[in-house]
C-alpha cells in the first residue's frame, strides 16, 4: 500500500517487509505492505533466495518484489567468483519477474566499492537497486552516501549506523538532508507498530523496512531432539513467519504519522 501524502507533493509513504517464504509474502500483501524484500537464511542476515522461491512469490503476490543479492553470509567484501555469482543472480532475478534487487559491496578498507556497485546497477536495469545495511558498517556514512549516489543506486536501507533505527534517528535525518533528493533513504532496524510513526516524523523518511517475523506453532515432531543440524542449536525446530495482523497494525500506525 502506498499512503497518500497529506497536502504535499512528496513521494507516498512506502512499507517494505522482509520475508523468506511464500506465506510471509502473502501475509505482507494482505496486511497492506507496499513491497517485500525476499531473502533466505534470515538468521544470518539474509542471502540470495533460490530461483524457485522467487518464481513462487512472483506468481502469488502483486505488490513489489525486491530480491536480495548476497552470495554468502559474513562480510561484504567479495572475491571475483562471488561477484560473478552476484551478476548471475541479478540476471536470474530480472528474468523471472523481480521488481528490484538489494545488494551491497564494500572494499577491504570499509569504503563502498563504487566500480563494482555501478556494474551491478547497470546490469540490473531497468530494475530498481537498493543498497542494503552494508552501508551501516562502512567506514564513513556521509562518504558512503556520496559513493552510492555516484554508483547510481536508487535507495539505501539504513539504521543510521546504529543497531536500530530508533537509536540512529538523528543520523538518518541527517542523511535525508544530505541526500538532497538524489536517492531514497529507507529507515530500517527494529521498526514496529509502536515506533514507526515517530521514526517517520523525526527522520523525514518516506520509506520504512521491517522484519516482523514471529515464532509460530510447529506441528512437526523430531524423534531425536538432541541432534542439531543448524549453526544455532535448536533453531531448526522453531518456525518464524510474518503475520498479516502485525503488518496491518504497522500500516495503520504509519497512516497516523503526522508528516
Q: Tell me, what's the pLDDT at 219?
A: 63
Q: Tell me, what's the pLDDT at 1?
A: 56
Q: What is the pLDDT tens value at each position of the chain, 259 positions in all?
A: 555 443 334 678 999 999 999 999 999 999 999 999 999 999 888 999 999 999 999 999 999 999 999 999 999 999 999 999 999 999 999 999 999 999 999 999 999 999 999 999 999 999 999 999 999 999 999 999 999 999 999 999 999 999 999 999 999 999 999 999 999 999 999 999 999 999 999 999 999 999 998 888 766 656 666 666 555 555 556 788 999 999 999 999 999 998 8
Cell reading at 47: 542471502
Cell reading at 45: 542476515
The pTM for the full model equals 0.91
Cell reading at 144: 558512503
**Which residue carries 539474509 as its cell?**
46
CB-based burial, 19-54: b 16+ in 10 Å, e otherwise? bbbebbbbbbbebbbbbbbbbbbbeeebbbbeeebb
Euclidean distance between CA atoms 157 and 146, whole angstroms: 14
Map out the domains of the chain with their CATH numbers: 11-218+237-255 (3.20.20.380)
255-to-90, 105, 106 alpha-carbon distances in Å: 33, 34, 36
- Listed residue (211, 209, 207) closest to 179, CA to CA: 207
- Listed residue (166, 172, 160) closest to 203, CA to CA: 172
Q: Tell me, what's the pLDDT at 12?
A: 85
Euclidean distance between CA atoms 187 and 112, whole angstroms: 19
Amino acid at each position: 500500500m502506498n499512503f497518500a501524502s497529506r497536502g504535499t507533493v512528496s513521494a507516498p509513504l512506502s512499507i517494505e517487509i522482509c520475508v523468506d517464504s511464500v506465506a510471509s509474502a502473502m501475509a505482507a500483501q494482505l496486511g497492506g505492505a507496499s513491497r517485500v524484500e525476499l531473502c533466505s537464511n534470515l538468521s544470518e542476515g539474509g542471502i540470495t533466495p533460490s530461483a524457485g522461491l522467487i518464481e513462487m512469490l512472483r506468481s502469488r503476490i502483486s505488490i513489489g518484489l525486491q530480491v536480495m543479492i548476497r552470495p554468502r553470509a559474513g562480510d561484504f567484501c567479495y572475491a571475483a567468483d562471488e561477484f560473478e555469482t552476484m551478476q548471475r543472480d541479478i540476471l536470474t532475478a530480472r528474468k523471472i519477474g523481480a521488481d528490484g534487487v538489494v545488494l551491497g559491496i564494500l572494499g577491504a578498507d570499509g569504503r563502498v566499492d563504487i566500480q563494482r556497485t555501478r556494474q551491478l546497477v547497470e546490469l540490473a536495469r531497468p530494475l530498481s537497486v537498493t543498497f542494503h545495511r552494508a552501508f551501516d558498517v562502512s567506514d564513513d556514512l556521509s562518504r558512503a552516501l556520496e559513493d552510492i549516489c555516484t554508483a547510481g543506486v536508487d535507495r539505501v536501507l539504513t539504521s543510521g549506523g546504529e543497531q536500530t533505527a530508533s537509536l540512529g534517528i538523528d543520523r538518518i535525518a541527517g542523511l535525508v538532508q544530505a541526500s538532497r533528493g538524489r536517492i531514497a533513504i529507507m529507515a530500517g532496524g527494529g521498526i514496529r507498530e509502536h515506533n514507526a510513526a515517530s521514526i517517520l516524523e523525526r527522520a523525514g523518511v518516506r520509506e520504512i523496512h521491517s522484519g516482523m517475523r514471529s515464532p509460530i506453532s510447529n506441528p512437526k515432531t523430531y524423534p531425536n531432539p538432541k541432534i542439531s543440524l543448524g549453526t544455532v542449536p535448536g533453531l531448526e525446530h522453531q518456525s518464524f513467519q510474518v503475520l498479516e495482523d502485525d503488518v496491518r497494525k504497522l500500516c495503520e500506525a504509519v497512516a497516523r504519522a503526522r508528516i
